Amino acid sequence: MPVVTSHEAVDVVVVGSGASGAAATWRLAKSGFKVVCLEQGPWVDHSKHPATKANWEELTRTSWAYHPNIRQGLADYSVNDDASAIKVLMFNAVGGSTIHWTAHVPRFHPSDFRVRTLDGVADDWPITYWDLEPFYDENDVMMGCSGISGDPANPDRSPRQMPPLPLGPDGDRMAKAFDRLGWHWWPSDSHVNSQPYRGRLACNNCGPVGWGCSRMAKASTDVTYLPEAVEFGAEVRAESTVYSVVTGGDGRVTGVNYFDAEGHAQWQPANAVILACNGIGTPRMMLHSASESHPAGLANSSGLVGKNLMFHVYAGASGVFPKNEPAYKGPIANIIMSQQFYETDPARGFVRGYTFQMGRSTGPASTAVGGVPWGAGHHQDFIERFGNMSGLGVIGEDLPLETNRVTLDPDRRDRFGIPAPLVEYRLDENSKRLLAHGVRQARTALLEAGATRVIETAQSVNAGWHLMGTARMGEDPGRSVVDGNCQAHDADNLFVIDGSAFVTGGGVNPTPTIQAVALRAADYICRERSDLKR
């Protein structure tokens, strides 16, 4: 690409300002590294989120939709997921997908890092839960965690910054049902403020937390990490789309080519490049950055870049309950979770496990679109459901398969000519059995809670919000892309710090683990890689 402007060299370029990129930018800037974070999306105006508009339910399905191909914002690149059993969801802006996320933040379990040793499947991580623990804690301080320690399903953790969000009558009802069944449950850890925290307001229970938060009660990295990072001297260059990572003849990275907001080509030299474009965007960038020294794609001598894509397999059941206090008050999925079926039990017929994440009712249009039939029975069905539904989502661990992968679409390109990611994904037998088990147990729990009707979803298709595994870490350069510090085996000044680096996905929402991994990698750079500082 012809370069128009060349910028002054920096220590580190971070590509992507979402959960991981923002955390690393903050940590490096705090330690005096000269950091530029390049983000293809714009800064988001939080006063304009859907919840501030009367037509918020229309917006959540159009210009704020989860799928980039539906949203079609200027910063969104098209994703070809026609051949994927799960559709890819993400947000592209300063703050990345944390603008959209629901901020339900369980941690991985110690066993998640040792699946080969414990269950004979997939691979162990080169790091442990205990390696990440201090970084989970550091991240909770930065993002602000509402919750309560003492959960018997997890190792004990430090006191949460704020008490749990209110459970609401629907949460209480579900919790008591779990108690009666003798099943585990615990209030969700959430990066949503239950009290004012670090200049951000407390949540006022409006509901659709997954479409931005005008009170900034939900932690998105544009309002947590990045303002502090900027104070420490980092530069966040929004509306800057990285085209490729450039390497020299020795195979080390020298900087990135990008397009600015006006579409002008730019060159940003750097001592190191950190990729934080998420589990789809990062392999896309690596495959598109093939060069003479990296002919199969950047840092792809193992051939594993783009492979082993994991999403978590999702299913669930919703219970329709007799009329009560309306169950649409409160953030939609930050209530309680159950890890009764998290760890492997061979008697269940599958390995690994899942978390139940409770969800609640929502607005009228979303309720109707959620499955109310048209025609003569419409109004009766709607009235039964509206405000009376509680759901249990099954978040299951999907094991890595090399055939589940991201490659470059030979035909489709974005406005800068970067190929679209082509995503292929299918569920294996283990995942199918796991989901079937989860749906059966969800039904049991909902009926125990008093549901008069249970509506099952055997497998959720629009559920690709967790993007993992496509540049995984490991000790063996032949079987992994980066090492335990997220440093590429093939280039010692290239790092991959987003969910791409995951070896396995656990059975929980991954973002606290993504951020802990990113903080740990940044910490490693600060401590061990002073050679990358001018």
Partner 1 sequence: MPTKQGALTDSDRRNMRVVMDRLIPPVDDLPGAGTMGLLDEIERIASEHDRYRKSLVRFLDALTMDMSVEAEGGFLALSGEQQDEAIREIEESLSKEFANVLEVVYISYYSRPEVHARIGWRTGPLQPLGFTLPPFDESILDTVRKREPFWRQAPD
Ligand X SMILES: Cc1cc2nc3c(=O)[nH]c(=O)nc-3n(C[C@H](O)[C@H](O)[C@H](O)COP(=O)(O)OP(=O)(O)OC[C@H]3O[C@@H](n4cnc5c(N)ncnc54)[C@H](O)[C@@H]3O)c2cc1C
Nearest-angstrom CA–CA distance, 293 and 34:
27
Strands 354-360 and 235-237: unpaired
Nearest-angstrom CA–CA distance, 298 and 285:
8
Whole-number minimum distance, CB 412 to ligand X, in Å? 15
Nearer to partner 1, 379 or 534 (CB): 379
Residues 34-53 close enough to bind ligand X by CB under 6 A: 38-41
Contact between 378 and partner 1 by CB under 8 A: the answer reads yes
Residues 119-138 close enough to bind partner 1 by CB under 8 A: 128-130
Residues 199-218 close enough to bind ligand X by CB under 6 A: 210
Nearer to ligand X, 464 or 474 (CB): 464
Which of ligand X, partner 1, none sits in contact with 266, Cβ below 5 to 8 A by type? none
442 CB neighbour count, 10 Å cutoff: 26
The H-or-E segment that residue 423 falls in is strand 419-424
Q: Is 120 left (phi over 0), alpha (psi -120 to 50) or beta?
A: left
Phi/psi at 383 (5° precision): -65, -35
DSSP letter at 95 equals T
b (16+ CB within 10 A) / e for 474-493: beeeeebbbbbbbbbbbbbb
Which of ligand X, partner 1, none sits in contact with 164, Cβ below 5 to 8 A by type? partner 1
Whole-number minimum distance, CB 84 to ligand X, in Å? 15
Count the site residues for ligand X by CB under 6 A: 43
CB 31 within 8 A of CB 56: no
Whole-number minimum distance, CB 139 to partner 1, in Å? 20
Taking CB under 8 A as the binding criterion, the range among 271-279, 365-373, 432-440, 521-529 that sits at the site for partner 1 is: 365-373
Contact between 276 and ligand X by CB under 6 A: the answer reads yes
Residues 489-528 close enough to bind ligand X by CB under 6 A: 498-499, 509-511, 514
Exactly one of 113, 259, 321, 341 binds partner 1 (CB under 8 A); that residue is 113
Nearest-angstrom CA–CA distance, 388 and 360:
9
Exactly one of 11, 12, 14, 17 binds ligand X (CB under 6 A); that residue is 17
Residue whose entry in the numeric block shows the structure tokens 């925290």? 197
| Residue in 207, 199, 135 with CA at minimum distance from that of residue 165 | 207
Nearest-angstrom CA–CA distance, 282 and 277:
5
Nearest-angstrom CA–CA distance, 500 and 522:
16
Which of partner 1, ligand X, none sits in contact with 365, Cβ below 5 to 8 A by type? partner 1
Nearer to partner 1, 119 or 260 (CB): 119
Burial tier of 43 (Cβ tally within 10 Å: 0-12, 13-18, 19+): middle
Contact between 347 and partner 1 by CB under 8 A: the answer reads no
Whole-number minimum distance, CB 343 to partner 1, in Å? 4
Nearest-angstrom CA–CA distance, 319 and 391:
6
Nearest-angstrom CA–CA distance, 361 and 320:
10
Whole-number minimum distance, CB 213 to partner 1, in Å? 9
Contact between 386 and partner 1 by CB under 8 A: the answer reads yes
DSSP letter at 481 equals S
Contact between 14 and ligand X by CB under 6 A: the answer reads no
Exactly one of 225, 465, 495, 502 binds ligand X (CB under 6 A); that residue is 465
Residues 438-497 close enough to bind partner 1 by CB under 8 A: none
Nearer to partner 1, 178 or 243 (CB): 178
Interface with ligand X (CB under 6 A) = 15-21, 38-41, 66, 75, 89-93, 96-98, 100-105, 210, 241-242, 276-278, 281, 285, 465-466, 498-499, 509-511, 514
